[in-house]
Chains A and B, each alone.
Chain A
Amino acid sequence: MKFSYFPGCSLKGSGRAYEESLLPVLSALGVELEELDDWNCCGATAYMAVSDAAGYVLAARNLALAEQKKQDLVAPCSGCYLVLNKCQHYAAEYPDVATRVQETLKRDNLTYKGTTKVRHPLDILVNDIGLDAIKKRVTNPLKGFKIAPYYGCQIIRPYATFDDQHNPVTMDKLFKALGAEVVTYPLKTRCCGGSLTGTVTEVGQNMSYILLREAMRRGANVLATTCPLCQFNLDAYQGDISSDYHESVKMPIVYFTQLMGLAFGLPAEKIGLQRCIVPMDLKPAAALAK
């Protein structure tokens, strides 16, 4: 299996642990990702707020690059995944949008037809590769891990392509296949605060606090995420949150791909686990026994 790969800005920056775990895990399962040559920022949520036309063009340029390769495009970051999908939807629904995109891209000698599918790694893992194949790769079952599966917003909303909008279960199934326990987590699709955490901190951190506290209440010892922004928001501010809310909040936040890597027996530093600000206990089972 071979896909075009759109890392997006975060996976090259503060979210590099996602890329560091995604690539070896997929390659262990026989999936090859070919990074788009000279990709550009997808536009994220900020672009739509300034100019929609420019936003669609940003997204479409990447889609056009993948179309050239005749490959489907893997977008691991939730923000990118949404923006790219949204561009496809709007270009298909609104002829004006499609024309504007096509005419602008001509300048860069690119064409956009909308033929490339935008895929999320979770979708590929569970639906293309299958849980059985994944199970076969597990050498180090995640015993003692009690995982709060946190999907966040944008990979299932508003375009539910591979899972249920209200109660997504792809990750739940995946973690069970890795030998972990999955806790009931009713906030699995609630927003982490997005860019608010860095801008209007009291609002963003309150949103993160709600998610972290409920995960602790449910007895989770790790929270798994699919998005670099969620990972950052939930991981980076736990100190501030603890002091603001006079409550010790401590919850390791890792990418689902890091948990897979661990279960596949990959060394922790090869899958970016050292990049967690709140470190994760690699052997929670042992901790339990103590």
Chain B
Amino acid sequence: MNEPTKTQPRIGVYICHCGTNIAGVVDCKAVAETAAQYPNVVVSRDYKYMCSDPGQALIQQDIKEHKLDRIVVSSCSPLLHEHTFRGACEKGGLNPYCFQMVNIREHDSWVHEKGAAATDKAKDLTRAAVSRVAHHKPLETKTTPIHPDVMIVGGGIAGIQAALTLANAGQHVYLVEREPTIGGYMAKFDKTFPTLDCAACILTPKMSAVGAHPNITLWTYSEVAKVDGFVGNYKVVVKRKPRYIIEDLCVGCNECVTACVFKEGKFEDEFNMGLSKRKPVYMPFPQATPPIVLIDPETCINVKTGKCKKTCVEACGDRQAIDFTQKAEMKEVQVGTIILATGFQPFDAKRIPQYGYGIYPNVYTSLEIERLVNASGPTEGHVVLRDGKTKPKSVGIVHCVGSRDNKTHRWCSRVCCMYSMKLAHLIKHHTDAEVFNFYIDIRAPGKGYEEFYEKLQEEGVHFIRGRVAEVTDWQMSKEEEGKLVIRVEDTLAGFVRRIPVDMVVLAVGLEPHADSQDVRRQFNISCSTEGWFLERHPKLAPVNTFTDGIFIAGACQGPKDIPDTVAQAGAAAAEALSLIKAGSIELEPNTAFVVAEECSGCKTCIPMCPYTAISRDDVKKVAVINEALCKGCGTCVAACPSGAIKQNLFDDDEITSEIEAILAK
């Protein structure tokens, strides 16, 4: 190895063109020529693609030929290629930390116009890195073991799929679901596009497999309360809300439900989107997993007042599964990796008052219709208006409700065109009504999707290309009396139409959960501004996050259909498995350490550390930092009044020399 010397460093500088990404704006050759003049620079080059094999070979060759002991590459984001170039240094026989990367793409060429100023900025940043790298010291990489257990948060189809994949591979999985049952939105559907296979037939076997799997610990009606630790070694606290039922004793006979003092359901049934009523004790739906009941504390008389005859307890009899003394329970587990699969929430149709949801009773959301067409739904599959008996003769399905709209959500929700066509087919099938689809563009890009669209056209469903302006009940003519009127431009015909219908279905879009920002903070991952969890790279690392060991799958990452969700869930499981199989992971050596001689033992740093990595050695009366817990945030370094804490890669010399060089013109 070329040993770096503090006295006379030999630095190599490489300016990457990134094709035209950088070279289109920054004069790379000029930057390289100027950099050649900087102190201690022995070699300075520009090259088309530094990350390519020949680019890396260039570095390796120069290290040998020119006895370089430090390297600076000015190219893209360290997030993308710091690893690559450190690897090149190592292969060339240099300690990988005797390297500094400069981002002249995201920080320069992508955000500035072509010209001298952009080139000057690249020179300034490179000069600062040259000055800094002279102070870099060789560091040792540490590794940490990966705990083999996995936690999955969210039990929709994404969570279910990932859990089964991992459990079948022999890993132990904790599946945490907030609702009383797993299944997510898919459990509410009757059929799925484009094949129209029965959702229950393909989902419920997977749900019960989860329930029965020896490698899966299923915690429903539960939420993650706290996450500590780091990749390979996460400590998670899960709060299990009391369901007032002892899970192991309940056999799901529903006798307590029949016996409840409420003779009829009285409260909005969440699973049926409020289209039916349930009792305080209930099972969300017959195939719920786990197949047991729960008691809703908000509506149960006994939980609220303690004054109820408790006919449920009587009905349960010897099984004694009901326990009104149950309290929330905290479970703490150790896992190595975590998969977030928390899904989406439907857009609130009331936000677009022009569409009349909540104003006109026969305006429905698509999810309500999913329940209406469902044989096990509130009407046993009869599509009827809110009066409970009238079959609609004409139905309008409004696409893009809360999608492609700058005032609500800009994105396309991806599944609404397809599910609207599915619902059109099912409604027509159930009622023989005339069905209109109002769309801006039909988006049917999946396998078999365009063919499904064709089939619907052949079935005689009307497709009107126009975004609906208003659903209203003011009328212009006799034919509109007692109807809901849809005002829309038939853009292909080129005129405005008023179409009277009996039922309106709003194809609500998909949006991130209202609490997505809280969840993201809890797990220390990033979110897009809208609230979708952010993948590490949109193409090359779609299920990874910027936090090692935490993966994402399904609609929590962005709107997607079931096939894509399942594919992503498999990918997330595979990524977790690959960490588990490797057994350990390399850690950045950017940890902090205490120079014992300089520590006064004042304890200022201890409460400052967000990762509780600092303790006090009471014998030596100094602070000690647990390197495995330290994440290199630098808080303690800044806080120490004696300047006794140092941090690898963020040494005072390194930082000040960088600042000085960037200020010196």
Contacts and interface: CB of A to CB of B under 8 A. Distances in A.
- Please say whether the chains A and B touch (CB closer than 8 A): yes
Interface of A: 166-167, 186-187, 210, 214, 217
A59 to B, nearest CB: 27
A187 B473 CA distance: 10
A166 B357 CA distance: 13
A187 B472 CA distance: 10
Contact of B476 (A166, A167, A210): A210
A166 B354 CA distance: 7
B271 to A, nearest CB: 31
A186 B353 contact: no
Ordered nearest first, which 6 A-B pairs have the shortest CB separation?
A166-B353, A186-B474, A214-B474, A186-B472, A167-B353, A187-B474
Interface string B461-484: 000000000001111100000000
Contacts of B476: 210
Nearest to A165: B353
Interface secondary structure of A, over-half rule: loop
Contacts of A187: 474
Contacts of B474: 186-187, 210, 214, 217
Interface of B: 353-354, 472-476
Contacts of B353: 166-167
Nearest to B476: A210
B448 to A, nearest CB: 39
Contacts, number: 13
Nearest to A167: B353
A134 B130 CA distance: 74
A217 B472 CA distance: 15
A101 to B, nearest CB: 29
A6 B473 CA distance: 38
Contacts of B473: 186
A167 B357 CA distance: 13
Given A166-B354, A186-B474, A214-B475, 10 more contacts: A166-B353, A167-B353, A186-B472, A186-B473, A187-B474, A210-B474, A210-B476, A214-B474, A217-B474, A217-B475
A79 B417 CA distance: 41
A27 to B, nearest CB: 37
A186 B354 CA distance: 10
Contacts of A217: 474-475
Contacts of A167: 353
A168 to B, nearest CB: 11
Nearest to A211: B474
A13 to B, nearest CB: 32
A147 to B, nearest CB: 17
Contacts of A166: 353-354
A187 B354 CA distance: 11
A240 B475 CA distance: 21
For B354, B472, B474, B476, the residue with the greatest tally of chain A CB atoms inside 10 Å of its CB is B474
Nearest to B360: A186
13 contacts: A166-B353, A166-B354, A167-B353, A186-B472, A186-B473, A186-B474, A187-B474, A210-B474, A210-B476, A214-B474, A214-B475, A217-B474, A217-B475
A214 B475 CA distance: 8
Nearest to A166: B353
B406 to A, nearest CB: 14
Nearest to A186: B474
Nearest to B473: A186
Contacts of A210: 474, 476
A206 to B, nearest CB: 10
A166 B350 CA distance: 12
A201 B427 CA distance: 44
Contacts of B475: 214, 217
A191 to B, nearest CB: 14
A187 B476 CA distance: 12
A188 to B, nearest CB: 10
A56 B472 CA distance: 37
A253 to B, nearest CB: 18
B360 to A, nearest CB: 10
A210 B474 CA distance: 9
For A167, A186, A217, the residue with the greatest tally of chain B CB atoms inside 10 Å of its CB is A186
A254 B354 CA distance: 27
A210 B473 CA distance: 13
B408 to A, nearest CB: 13
Contacts of B472: 186
B459 to A, nearest CB: 34
B383 to A, nearest CB: 27
B655 to A, nearest CB: 41
A22 B150 CA distance: 71
A166 B472 CA distance: 12
Contacts of A214: 474-475
A167 B474 CA distance: 15
A205 B473 CA distance: 21
A22 B476 CA distance: 35
A186 B476 CA distance: 13
A128 to B, nearest CB: 27
A113 B281 CA distance: 65
A166 B476 CA distance: 21
